[in-house]
A = this chain, B = another copy of it.
């Protein structure tokens, strides 16, 4: 818990010999003690991916000069795309929720226990039923009802709130509204959704009804980044539960909800720890 602060580099570039040596030599030369390193080569695409985490207490490059120095000495020569985050700077994460509260409840439990390195500055809902639950935790709650006519206007209100609270991650905790392409473009690969099926099976509405109708023996949940194509964004986490012929649609919902909240929480954790890199609509998940 009182781990020393670290910097985390997520990077990808065309594959070539010597990349790891260059990166680790750069860190070693500047007194950066590596605590974790994972790499992956996509041999079909000839592309290289890596995540490195190093202690920065004795690191000789100051934080505000890190990106520039890294660019000069490592990133640019290797044609890298990269980002650097710091473990002691908590991401600010907003939650959007509708009427199903199981994911919200689970997230608040983790938030209150300190399980996540995150700040939750606000929660937005198109319904008012979780106001007291949320406000008891001290988090501001905004009720922004959506109708056929006010959707664009309410999205503007949401965007302003997110800007005001400096939010950089949005979690759709069973938020039953489809976001516009404009909204999504503000937060590329920063909006995490939980879909209640093992995508690509049963996209869209009412997947548990479809699963029951088809007679499948497993149901699933999929947490993915939201893109403009519905339920087709890059997948972060999936898991399933087994069902039987005597499970009704209500049983599927109940069993599925336990799965949804666990899958969503795993995806959130990976995102918050900067373990996810998106490439060609797929997630490289370093663990």
Complex contact B31–A41 (CB within 8 A): no
CB proximity of A266 to chain B, nearest CB, Å: 8
Q: Does A285 contact B (CB under 8 A)?
A: yes
Could you say which of B215, B244, B287 contacts A281, with CB atoms under 8 Å apart?
B215
Docked complex Cα distance between A284 and B244 (Å): 8
- The copy count of this chain in the complex is 4
Decide if the interface of chain A is mainly helix, strand, loop or mixed: mixed
Could you say which of B21, B217, B218, B284 contacts A24, with CB atoms under 8 Å apart?
B21
Complex contact B262–A235 (CB within 8 A): no
Q: Does A256 contact B (CB under 8 A)?
A: no
Complex interface bits, A92-114 against B, C-beta within 8 A gives 1, otherwise 0 = 00000000011001101100110
Which of A17, A32, A44 has the most B CB atoms < 10 Å from its CB?
A: A17
Q: Does A11 contact B (CB under 8 A)?
A: no
Could you say which of B37, B113, B136 contacts A37, with CB atoms under 8 Å apart?
B37
List of B residues within 8 angstroms of A201 by Cβ:
198-201
A residues lining the B interface (CB < 8 Å)? 1, 17-18, 20-22, 24-25, 27-28, 31-41, 43-44, 101-102, 105-106, 108-109, 112-113, 115, 132, 136, 198-202, 214-218, 220, 234-240, 244-246, 248, 250, 254, 258, 262, 265, 281-285, 287
